[in-house]
Amino acid sequence: MILLVGLGNPGEKYARQRHNIGFMAVDEIIRRHNFSPERKRFQGLVCEGTLDGEKALILKPQTYMNESGRAVGEAMRFYKLAPSDVVVMHDELDLPAAKVRIKTGGGAAGNNGIKSITSHIGPEFRRLRIGIGHPGDRARVSGHVLGDFAKADKAWLEPLLDAIAEAAPLLAEGKDSSFANRVHLILNPSQSKKPKPENQAGQPKQKDTPDGV
């Protein structure tokens, strides 16, 4: 079983903020993969479903970002999961918009939601970092993170959320690198079929072999 956690703040006031991109990502997974309706549980909203035949639980903590670990810890203990079964999706200021990175463990990098989860279950959970870009000025960081996505962001935001949802079954299989590659190729289809390099005669370049072979 996999526990997919989207980070954000509850309520319509926060729904379109960049800080809520974790909520947006799991909402698209719920929609695309026909998860159950949301219900209140574990201090959050929970949906159940399957990803490539694997049971999956999606959790959106309703404790506000800074206390996200309370909900995650409660759900993890109930299902007797290991930290490696938990994937947390959250905004990443230090990644360009529309870029994703996934890793296991590490620090919180200033994200209070990640800090809270670490305090409840330790650091060895999986993190899907979703780039929202940096405003370029430290004085503008708070307003950027807590600001709504602009209309122009729709051009990259919707395809990114679609790609994350399409590739989500790879997370359930534990294939994190394959997931990241799949998202990249969905967003950059022209790179999925690169022609083989040719030599001067126009033939595919042959692999070098030792003399006499």
The catalytic residues are 19
Q: Pick from 97, 94, 98, 96: which is nearest to 106 by CA?
A: 94
